[in-house]
Amino acid sequence: MANKEIKEIDPNQKLELSVTDILALITKLQADQAKLLADTGNKNAEVLSESLAKLSPHYKTPDQIANDKQLKAVSREGELNKLRIKKRQQHYCEHKSGQNGRQRRGESAFFPMKLCTGEVIAVCCYCQKVISSINPKHEKFWKDITYTLAESGQISGLNDPIEAALGRLVGDEQDRVRSSRAEYKKVIQNNLENFDDD
């Protein structure tokens, strides 16, 4: 194949192009540029987007993401352990004043308070166990309380104070208290039926 010689073009030479020639030239340039972008543009765009993402302050490498997940899991387990320890302390607490070595008087360590719903709660000063007057399972704790009852402002017009008091509990605790109250009512009802007042 023979090389064609390129004729030198005089820059001062007058060039005449029609509008059709100019449009054809622009169309060819656009087609060449589109082909060039199709070949290299996608790769460049990917590299550019990755580089911009890495410059972002919110960008995290896969190792950082894995580390964050591990830290969250460790933190969650630590919080669960705190709750387990607190429950264990509450289980083994005597709820009696003087249990930490001071003079024991056999009095309850619960401090009672009447809430605005009418419910009376008490908190142990040692383990922070909260007992409620509406939960029959807590009745055994109430007999020794000697401290003065503190009261908050009362709300008037509550249709069902028990349901209002249950509103502060989580769903499964509400269900347990309701079922416990129903069992307690059955026991009381059976005892009243069997009561003979000769």
d(CA 89, CA 91): 5
| Higher-pLDDT residue of 164, 143 | 143
Q: Is 158 left (phi over 0), alpha (psi -120 to 50) or beta?
A: beta
| Higher-pLDDT residue of 1, 175 | 175
pTM: 0.45
| Residue 138's pLDDT band (cuts 50, 70, 90) | confident
d(CA 160, CA 181): 15
Note the pLDDT of residue 24.
83
H or E segment and range at residue 120: strand 120-124
Mean pLDDT in residue range 169-194: 79
What would the pLDDT profile of 70-125 be if each residue is shown by its tens digit? Answer: 999 999 999 999 989 988 988 888 888 776 666 666 778 888 898 877 788 999 88
What would the pLDDT profile of 35-61 be if each residue is shown by its tens digit? Answer: 776 666 566 667 766 776 667 677 777
| Residue 2's pLDDT band (cuts 50, 70, 90) | low
Say if residue 130 is exposed, middle or buried (CB neighbours under 10 Å; 0-12, 13-18, 19+).
middle
d(CA 124, CA 94): 10
Note the pLDDT of residue 198.
41
| Higher-pLDDT residue of 4, 67 | 67
